[in-house]
A = this chain, B = another copy of it.
Amino acid sequence: MAEQKPGIPKGTRDFSPDEMIRRNYIFDTIRMVFQKYGYFPIETPAMENLMTLTGKSGEEADKLLFRILNSGNYLSGVSEKDISIDNLTGLTSKICEKGLRYDLTVPFARYVVQHRNDITFPFKRYQIQPVWRADKPQRGRYREFYQCDVDVIGSDSLLNEVELIQIINEVFGKLSLGVVIKLNNRKILTGISEMIGAPDKFQDITIALDKLEKTGIENVVKELLEKGLSQQAVDKLKPVLFMEGDHPEKSKQLKNILTGSETGLAGIHEMDFIFDRLDDTGLSGSCELDLTLARGLNYYTGTIIEVQARDAAIGSICGGGRYDDLTGIFGLPDVSGVGVSFGADRIYDVLLSLGLFPEKSGLTSRVLFINFGEKEERYCLGTVNRLRQADIPCELYPDRAKLKKQMKYADQKQVPFVVLIGENEMANNYLTIKNMSTGEQKQLTVEELIEMMR
Report which A residues bind B (CB closer than 8 A).
1, 3-9, 12-17, 20-21, 24, 35-38, 40-49, 51-52, 55, 66-69, 71, 73-76, 83-85, 88, 91-92, 95-98, 100, 110-111, 113-115, 118, 120, 122, 124-125, 130, 132, 134, 143-144, 152, 155-157, 159-160, 162-163, 166, 170, 277, 280-281, 329-331, 363-365, 368, 371, 377-378, 381-382, 385, 388, 391-396, 398-400, 408-409, 412-413, 415
Cβ-defined contact, B277 with A1, below 8 A: no
Cβ-defined contact, A398 with B155, below 8 A: yes
Min CB distance A338 to B, Å, is 10
Cβ-defined contact, A9 with B98, below 8 A: yes
Min CB distance A64 to B, Å, is 8
Min CB distance A329 to B, Å, is 5
Residues of chain B within 8 A of A21, CB atoms compared: 40-41
Cβ-defined contact, A152 with B378, below 8 A: no
Of the candidates A6, A16, A331, A399, the one having the most CB atoms from chain B within 10 angstroms of its own CB is A6
Residues of chain B within 8 A of A9, CB atoms compared: 45, 47-49, 97-98
Cβ-defined contact, A20 with B45, below 8 A: no
Closest B residue by C-beta to A95: B69
Residues of chain B within 8 A of A331, CB atoms compared: 3-6
Closest B residue by C-beta to A146: B43
Majority-rule SS of A interface residues = mixed
Cβ-defined contact, A42 with B71, below 8 A: no
Instruction: Taking A20-B42, A45-B144 as given, write out 18 further A-B residue pairs in contact, using a Cβ cutoff of 8 Å, ordered by the A residue number.
Output: A3-B329, A3-B331, A9-B98, A21-B40, A36-B394, A38-B368, A41-B363, A46-B132, A47-B144, A66-B69, A67-B68, A68-B100, A73-B85, A75-B83, A75-B85, A163-B395, A163-B396, A280-B378
Which of B7, B74, B118, B120 contacts A413, CB < 8 Å? B120
Which of B38, B42, B48, B88 contacts A73, CB < 8 Å? B88
Min CB distance A141 to B, Å, is 15
Residues of chain B within 8 A of A130, CB atoms compared: 46
Cβ-defined contact, A51 with B393, below 8 A: no
A45-B144, A381-B281, A391-B36 given; A67·B69 CB < 8 A: yes
